[in-house]
A and B are shown apart, each in its own frame.
Chain A
Amino acid sequence: QKVFRVIPQNDEQVAIINTLASNTEVDFWQPDSVTLVRPKMEVDFRVEADISSEVEDLLKESGMEYRVLIDNLQAAVDAQFDSKARTTGHSYEKYNNWETIAAWTADIAAQNPDLVTRSVIGETYEGRPMYVLKMGKSGPNKKAIFMDCGFHAREWISPAFCQWFVKEAVETYGKDTVMTTLLDSLDFYVLPVVNIDGYVYTWTNDRMWRKTRSKNAGSFCIGTDPNRNFNAGWCSLGASRRPCDSTYCGSAPESEKETKALADFIRDHLSTIKAYLTIHSYSQLLLFPYSYTYDLPSNYEELNTIARDASKQLASLYNTKYTYGPGATTIYPAAGGSDDWAYDQGIKYSFTFELRDTGKYGFVLPESQIKPTCEETLLAVKYIANYVLEHLY
């Protein structure tokens, strides 16, 4: 069955519609009845499949402006019931608000109990629970990879990637050999949104907010840059001591509840966490230590090679070009970063991703780019995870 939209321009064309309605079974969607049709009005109506081509011929002949609104009504109706998004509001190809993401963490764990466990690692400044998803087939003595998203509130593509990663893990386990091996041999701790308060703020008040939402003593300005708040050369360079600035390092390392919770978790699991990945946007970069100094890490050559190869993997899908290297020279010097801190804790493989794009849309990356961005990034993350698996220490 098809649904047509026509716009009769004059009384003559209205008459044609009237004739049609009296000779055939026409179900008017708008207006409710043929008697209400007037010139210049948008008229939508449904017809049975077997007469749709005759109706179309008639419309063509009449010269009336028309188009097919729904080509196959049954298919459209069926599709609605297939879409989970209709019930939960969650979509992997759209930006989801915090409420939706929080509900999704519960759902995904409930639906995949053998692969996903949800736990709370702490609370944000505004009292929201920080969820982490532990992914992997349970087994003894498993090593782990920790990945977080949503450090900076306005970088919406970042939490979208963490959600995508989880989806791919549960959907391709048992089907994709690489993913199956990874989940069998390793655990992945995925923290979908670190800076939840900031993320919520970008949905309700200021799309361009970056920092946390904590009050600063002695200032009207709110928030600390969570990625300047770790104890790695803290506040020495590339960070600001002023609460009103976007790169404010905080009153002390781990002054923020969110960064403290993350650091505590990693410290508590230090013997098992073998790699640390933190996802940001934008600029299309793959960074590794150090950012707080121009000195190179002891395994610089190895990290550089991994980054080079992971970038190649990423580019293989849509030819998206990434630049890679140590943070200080590749993007800018900046102290207090979580990647440097994790590395100095002994986590040899520590990487920061800056996802699409390079400035055309920047933080407001269109939803149509969520899927391709996530697909290509997944290739790089799987590559790194695989490397780590083959070089466990």
Chain B
Amino acid sequence: DIDDVGHKYYLELVLEDVLDKDSTVNCTAEVLYHLGSKNVAPDVQFTLEGELKNTDEADNVFYNQIKSLEKELVAENIPDSHGNVSPEMEPIRRLAWVASGYVIWQNSTENTKFHLAQIKRVKQVKRSDEYLEFDYMVLLHEMVSQEIIPWQMTVLWHPQHGVQVTQDSRQPKHASE
């Protein structure tokens, strides 16, 4: 408890590579939830004890695959009702996961627990520069209220410049149908 400021949490985590369970990196973090204000994201500071794996090769493969598409990518329901994700959609899903992580951080309080439930729709947006742009409509599951919240996110990605969420907005319940 930090008087008049909020609640601070000290965390020790182990980061595990989704694609290689044996590849781990230790991490320490401090999270400060601000008193009162629901509209301010918690402060996060972290230190990685080690290096994250280099993903240049996979990044370039994905980048080139999308760049070489004749028509802009469009997809729905990832995963589908039965949990299936086609191999081509895996990077699209991971990108949504990272982007939704940002959205979740911006909207978290001590009383929320969000997970990305599903991508309802994703549409690639044509760009004249080297960035890839995707317009996502995702469903976020909030554990405490058990609500499924549709959320729109505009995501930019580039192999060297990483992920950016340039726009995001919570949608009314029927926006996902």
Contacts and interface: CB of A to CB of B under 8 A. Distances in A.
Interface string A180-216: 0000000000000000000000110011101000000
Nearest to B118: A364
- For the residues of B in contact with A, the DSSP-based class is loop
Contacts of A100: none
Contacts of B145: 240, 245-247
A73 interface: no
Nearest to B142: A246
Contacts, number: 55
Contacts of B146: 210, 225, 246-247
Interface stretch (A110-118, A142-150, A355-363): A355-363
- For the residues of A in contact with B, the DSSP-based class is loop
B141 interface: yes
A362 B82 CA distance: 11
B84 interface: yes
B83 A367 contact: yes
Tier of interface size on chain A = 20 to 34
B154 to A, nearest CB: 23
Interface residues of B, number: 20
Nearest to B97: A360
B147 A95 contact: no
Nearest to A363: B117
A181 B84 CA distance: 39
B82 A208 contact: no
Interface string B117-156: 1100000000000000000000101011111100000000
B142 to A, nearest CB: 9
Given A359-B116, A363-B117, 12 more contacts: A202-B81, A206-B177, A208-B141, A208-B148, A210-B146, A247-B145, A332-B143, A362-B117, A364-B79, A364-B80, A366-B83, A369-B83
Top 9 closest A-B pairs, CB basis? A366-B83, A359-B115, A246-B146, A208-B148, A364-B83, A364-B79, A207-B81, A246-B147, A365-B83
